[in-house]
Amino acid sequence: MALEHAILVSLLEKPGSGYELARRFERSIGYFWNATHQQIYRVLKRMESDGWVDVRDVPQQARPDKKEYSVAAVGRAALSGWLHEPIEPESVRHDLAVKIRGAAFDDPAALIGEVERHYQAHTDRLAHYLAGERRDFAGPGAPGAPDPGRELQHAVLRGGIAYERMMLAWLDDVRATLHRLAAGR
Amino acid sequence: MALEHAILVSLLEKPGSGYELARRFERSIGYFWNATHQQIYRVLKRMESDGWVDVRDVPQQARPDKKEYSVAAVGRAALSGWLHEPIEPESVRHDLAVKIRGAAFDDPAALIGEVERHYQAHTDRLAHYLAGERRDFAGPGAPGAPDPGRELQHAVLRGGIAYERMMLAWLDDVRATLHRLAAGR
DNA sequence: CTTGTCTATGCAACGAGTTGCATAGAAGGA
DNA sequence: TCCTTCTATGCAACTCGTTGCATAGACAAG
């Protein structure tokens, strides 16, 4: 399991509450790792009792008080340990691929709308990534030594961009295939 | 949940036992959907009691008897229903992306070996896909009307190939970034 | 001759992840 | 004024998925 490690990374980048983490997972981080607030709260509790994170009560006006979490030494060590052990071939789950193969036993043309919806969703996501890239990684970076955090975040973002572009090309291919099958019946 | 639907598609393509399904999930299908034999057996039980699949006892010599499952009318209808309802933005989980961002708080250079291992794994997978493509989709196809099943399986395979190529390019990019960071310290 | 692998199915226990619900004050729109 | 949304945390119940183990005959390698 790596949700705890994803949380550690996110908290190292910037400490925050469970709620804030959930929002980050919805936005930036959620594009390569997602989790609901329930999961995050539960895991944070465990991480706290294991001494991986420290908590600090932050009173607020005009909104509920929050608990701000930050990474403790033990958590940093745990992350380091995880980083040094190999991980394996991520298990993939592409619902759409199952649907496409399933369409052979149903009406292939009925999938065209679905594929177009996905095309649109990936177009939006790509635009969002590109906007983020322009915003955060436009200039040549600060003078002097490169900031590893910034460089690595950019590398992950470039992966997201490459993924979306690949998906768009493939979805276009799939759409053409579905049209061809619909025409040739 | 769509494991049941993945099983339906696989059984429509070819009826088989739980064991055989598990092997298919390890091989071809498993590249875009994975499941262990336990999960498959449990889900098959439920699908059977729901009338989605039919079972047939097949005695064998020199090996244990098996139960061959095939899709029943109810299962076909269930699949059709699922195919017609929209599915949503697959939740992605890229352990490696978490590791890369985490490396900023540890030693980036220590990740180079890991990235190279993944590069090798994706290279192997790409070779496997390409071999499958040559084997199954080399010729111009049977004369006359195109076979939807064949066409759609090929479209999914092209997706796998595009994915692996994208991953290889990105991993190369990541490796270069890590080298750059390791040098500039 | 023993050990290991392959086929084939399954139970039990656990951990991961989802869904529904509850609370509660502040702010903004119909 | 009422309804919804946002912030913030959490419980309870459930389903999904993984891991370890068990059985058992056939066959191949050491």
Taking residue B17's Cβ as centre, other Cβ atoms within 10 Å add up to 20
Q: Which nucleotide is nearest to A38 (CA to C1')?
A: D10
CATH number of A3-84: 1.10.10.10
Q: Which of B36, B79, B99 to mutate to test the interface with A (most CBs of A within 10 A)?
A: B99
For chain B, the structural domain boundaries read 3-84, 95-183
* pLDDT score, position B5: 96
Mean pLDDT in residue range A7-22: 96
Instruction: Tell me: pLDDT of B175 over 70.
Output: yes
User: Comparing B93 with B172, which gets the higher pLDDT?
Assistant: B172
Distance A48 CA to C27 C1' (A): 33
Instruction: Output the CA–CA distances (angstroms, integers) from residue B21 to A100, A125, B10, B126, in the order listed.
Output: 19, 35, 7, 23
Inform me whether the C-beta atom of residue A73 falls under 8 Å from chain B C-beta atoms: no
Q: Between B43 and B64, name the one with better pLDDT.
A: B43
- Check pLDDT > 70 for residue A185: no
Cβ–Cβ gap B181/A13 under 8 Å: no
Name the residue with higher pLDDT: A63 or B160: B160
Chain B partners within 8 Å of A159 (Cβ): 94, 97, 170, 173-174
Contact A112, A172 (CB under 8 A): no
Least confident range of A55-64, A103-112, B27-36, B91-100:
B27-36
Cα separation, B123 vs B168, whole angstroms:
7
* Centroid of chain to Cα B164: 13
Asked whether the predicted pLDDT for residue A141 surpasses 70, the reply is: no
Question: Distance (Å, rounded) from C-alpha B99 to C-alpha A8?
Answer: 11
Q: Identify which of B34, B156, B177 has the shortest CB distance to residue A155.
A: B177
Smallest CA–CA distance from A26 into chain B, residue: B91
